[in-house]
Chain A
Amino acid sequence: MPVPAPLPPEILAPLRQQLRCNFPQLDQVFPDCMTEARILLSETGIRDYLEGASLICRIGRGFEPVLVYLEEMPRVAADLGEETLALVSQTVWKLSRSPNGKAILPFLQSIAEAARRLASAELLTRYTAMILDFMERTTGSIHGFHTTIPSPSLPDLLERIPYLLSQLTCHGLRNWLDYGLRHYADHPDRQRDYFSLQSADSRAVLQRERHGVLFVDHERQLDLYLRALWQERQTFVPYSDAFDEPRKPLPYFDALGVRIPDCYDDRDGVAGIDRYRALLAHVAAHLRWSGSLVADNLSPFQRIAVETFEDCRVESLALREYPGLRRILLALHPTPAEDACDPERESCIRHRLAMFSRAVLDPDHGYRDPNLLDFVARFHAELAEGSSSTQAIADLAISYIARTRRQQDLAPNVHFTDTEVDYRDDNRHLWRYIEQGDEEEAFEERKPRQADDVETLPPRHYPEWDYQSKTYRPDWVSLYEGLHPSGDPAHIDALLDKHRMLAKRLKQILDLLKPQQYVRLRYQEEGSELDLDVAIRSLIDFRGGATPDPRINMSHRHDGRDIAVMLLLDLSQSLNQIPDGCSQTILELSQEAVALLGWAIDHLGDEFAIAGFSSNTRHEVRYQHIKGYGEGWDDQVKGRLAAMEAGYSTRMGAALRHAAHYLEARQADKKLLLILTDGQPHDIDVDDERLLIEDTHKAVQELDQQGIYTYCINLDSHADEYVRDCFGNRFTVIDRVERLPEKLPQLFMALTK
């Protein structure tokens, strides 16, 4: 680029006067900055530019912010519009009016990159607003009115902005910031960890918000793709290329599965999902057609040539099968220019191979190198007969290397431009090594690891609904299912005996409920009664000369009950209370009620299971199995019921989801989930009262979609405040807890009548 002529002093001097700033260093850079500014900016723009610089000079943070502003802003203003000049200087001014002086320089340094990524003045405005909002929410205050403590994480955040914007859209950045602010606003150390991308959830949320086609959302499609087009079944192991900066991981596959990137952006007109498919097609082609070779006898150059040739071979075979793939592969494969690499100064080995690969794939490649053309022809001739073989193509590759070898191939500066084919794997499957290595440990025998003795069921993870961000927190809750300890079954029998009067009354109702509904079956040729309507119609047909329908009878049949019930018991600490006007704890009353209900449902013959739950933070939700669908109402079940104990908290959503997964597997027509609780969902690691209520509500909605009817029986007389938010209209509040044993079975029968 030609260096523009320096400005004459008569133009420079008035401009220098407009910039009210007296740092001595300024005079050295001022002429250069103004030369650039005059090329890029209009008259007004220059005025705004100098005013902005004066403003930044006045904040008293030394010369460096002024310098960054002077250097970066003409380019930004030229690209996004001159209103950004004032926007940036005003934002810096606002930052300087807060205790966050340290963040000013990183902010200014982030502007150039942010402008390049966001590419519009509107988005840049939104970005600065986001930063100011962030500052406001993280800057601490003492006694509530003067903000005095600087934001702990703002400088760290600003330093990472270029990286963040390369991964996230403006909207994604907003979500990522919101998540961090919501969870770590009052915890400076964790806040810093989160916003400097140190903590695990920070990275996890970042992954989730990335732009492009995410693997997690498309895993099934990819699985279907392999099955349908290649009859392959592979495990996918996603890796992230977002964090390993020094060395980019490549896709590969081995016995444990296919490692694929967790996210693909659309590129060169190829949708992200099609990039995944191209990668899988390549892998599947290797699986189908590639053999393996001994690596020890080949030099590194020979090996990379063999790999490229083999890649080309399997791709050509895949294209024979699916010619439509060529469009995608052509778009993704780089097109190295023939004279891009100077063989006298750089190592052109990769460039030569990439050209070969392009020439095989693209019939209109237009390369003129005779060696290249010769080998492309030999390659096609080799494949003309059939599918050839890995060994045969390796021989061709080695002779290609021998023919085109140059002295400079060994040079350290390898030409990389346009030589990377990112849908290809790293070909580690191609090589067999005779010698494992010289390291000592290679000779030691590996001891097989002892498998840990498994005593409890492994935890199941359930998501939790975050109503503020309207997203699920993935795998948030760990649920441990276990068998409820056993007690003395005679205790339950005694309870039933105590309520035998009630049981007698219930039995009358039960007998009425037992399956005996009649369903009319019409249009029967033979039946128990004449169906007059049809008979008359037939007679009319007959009189009219048409063929009468002979199915003029009807009969009846019994319609059975087909209900599967799950009773979920809240076993939290509060059950140990003795409510006013009672002599028993809620736990004891529940026990009696459940015993009666169990007896009643057993009598009715419906499918029936009981489980209890309690929670101790999201890491430990306990789900205790009391009765399964396969078990009868026997002593074992009664024993577990007799040993019921209360403790810990009520994290209802996860328990509902877990209970639902059992209920879902039942075949019954109607599925009913009864939940017996004495209070609102609550856990000790949750400060926000609404959170678990909303999560429960979400869980109920999910269950609805699975065709499970959820019904809550609440023993808390203040339940009206929240129970409707969780369960809609499907709840009953039992105010007089002492009547629970009587109410519960009645309620059940009313529900299922």
Chain B
Amino acid sequence: MRAVKRQATHPPHPPHPPRATMSIDTEQYKVSQEPFYQPLDNEIALYEAAYRRRLPVMVKGPTGCGKSRFVEFMAWRLGKPLITVACNEDMTASDLVGRYLLDATGTRWLDGPLTVAARIGAICYLDEIVEARQDTTVVIHPLTDHRRCLPLDKKGEVVTAHPDFQLVISYNPGYQSLMKDLKQSTKQRFSALVFDYPPADLETRIVATETGIAPELAAALVKIAAAARNLKGHGLDEGISTRLLVYAANLMDEGIAPREASRMALVDPITDDEDIRSTLHHAIDAVFP
């Protein structure tokens, strides 16, 4: 299977850092192959409209429902480079913006992924933005309003965003704690697309197309997922995601029996609660005759 987050995450320290003055190879950030994406609603048109006006976009939704895939697909459709940054707690503002490095002769400046994206006119995708600390996320503010610029205070430069530049963030409102939420001032700079797990028939088609298993098997998997999603909040923090369904389907495609594949990919990763395991195992038995 193609990795869902296929687009390589931008490494914090690329081996050959592009200098600000050097031309940057934008081709490496292009999405070369069409990713499979099953539209659920008119989100493609909405996104395109937002892009035409270069509005920053926030994609919200539970884990594994296809947020990253959607962004990747849109980058491919628009033919724009995509720079993905996976956010984490230890990330600092300089990891986004860039920093000075010591050199044998002195220091030199290294652009961060956000700066690169602003310079070359890429779509910059900050995945799981809430994982980053709040003081980090404020650096995106000037890029997300009418100013469309990025001041590099250490360097004393103001990067004006390329006309093609757009900022996209993803955000899972489900499992974040009280401490991890976006500031209002950050939230109010974005237009938002809300994602959820697709309806059963579409999800069946997604699983079948993505892995090539028979549609009846895919439908059975989707039924198990529906059972688990009903338990959200009753011992499960998140239901079974589409991504896990794809995993299970892949295992089945490898010749693993449906029950075993489902247990391995759908039940055991998500819960340690004996009652829930037993219920989901029963659901698997009930769905596969």
Contact = CB atoms under 8 A, between A and B. Distances in A.
A321 B289 CA distance: 11
B92 interface: yes
Given A224-B234, A324-B289, A273 B278 contact: yes
B279 to A, nearest CB: 4
A469 interface: no
B283 A229 contact: yes
Contacts of B280: 228
Contacts of A323: 286-289
A548 B289 contact: no
Given A324-B286, A324-B288, A550 B275 contact: no
Interface in B257-288: 275-276, 278-280, 282-288
Interface residues of B, number: 27
A112 to B, nearest CB: 40
B234 A227 contact: yes
Contact of B289 (A227, A277, A326, A550): A326
B282 A277 contact: yes
A325 interface: yes
B101 A547 contact: yes
A322 B279 contact: no
A548 B110 CA distance: 12
Interface stretch (B145-153, B168-176, B225-233): B225-233
Interface string A222-238: 01110111010000000
**Majority-rule SS of B interface residues:** helix
B22 interface: no
Contact of B230 (A227, A542, A547): A227
A231 B282 contact: no
A551 interface: yes
A682 B286 CA distance: 53
B94 interface: yes
Contacts of A326: 289
A548 B102 contact: yes
A166 interface: no
A224 B275 contact: yes
B279 A525 contact: no
B13 interface: yes
A281 B286 CA distance: 10
Query: Which among A227, A523, A551 has the greatest number of chain B C-beta atoms within 10 A?
Result: A227
A527 to B, nearest CB: 12
Interface in A331-349: none
A218 to B, nearest CB: 8
Interface residues of A, number: 27
B286 A228 contact: no
A225 B276 CA distance: 9
A229 B235 CA distance: 15
A364 to B, nearest CB: 15
A631 to B, nearest CB: 24
B289 A525 contact: no
Contacts of A225: 279, 282
B279 A221 contact: yes
Nearest to A549: B13
B99 interface: yes
Nearest to A273: B278
A220 interface: yes
Contacts of B235: 224
A523 B94 CA distance: 13
Contacts of A325: 286
Given A277-B282, A324-B285, A525-B92, A220 B227 contact: no
A274 B282 contact: yes
A224 B94 contact: no
Query: Which among B223, B235, B276, B285 has the greatest number of chain A C-beta atoms within 10 A?
Result: B285
B289 A228 contact: no
Interface string A276-287: 010001000000
A224 B234 CA distance: 8
A321 B99 CA distance: 58
Contacts of B99: 550
Given A228-B228, A324-B287, A525 B94 contact: yes
A322 to B, nearest CB: 4
A470 to B, nearest CB: 22
Interface in B87-103: 90, 92, 94, 99, 101-102
A550 B235 CA distance: 43
Contacts of A277: 282
B92 A551 contact: yes
B286 A322 contact: yes
Contact of A227 (B101, B231, B278): B231
10 contacts: A224-B276, A227-B230, A228-B279, A231-B230, A273-B278, A323-B288, A525-B92, A547-B13, A550-B99, A551-B92
The 7 closest A-B pairs by CB, nearest first: A323-B289, A322-B286, A228-B227, A324-B286, A224-B279, A547-B13, A221-B275
Given A228-B231, A229-B282, 14 more contacts: A224-B275, A224-B276, A227-B234, A228-B227, A228-B283, A274-B282, A281-B286, A321-B223, A322-B286, A323-B288, A324-B285, A325-B286, A326-B289, A547-B101
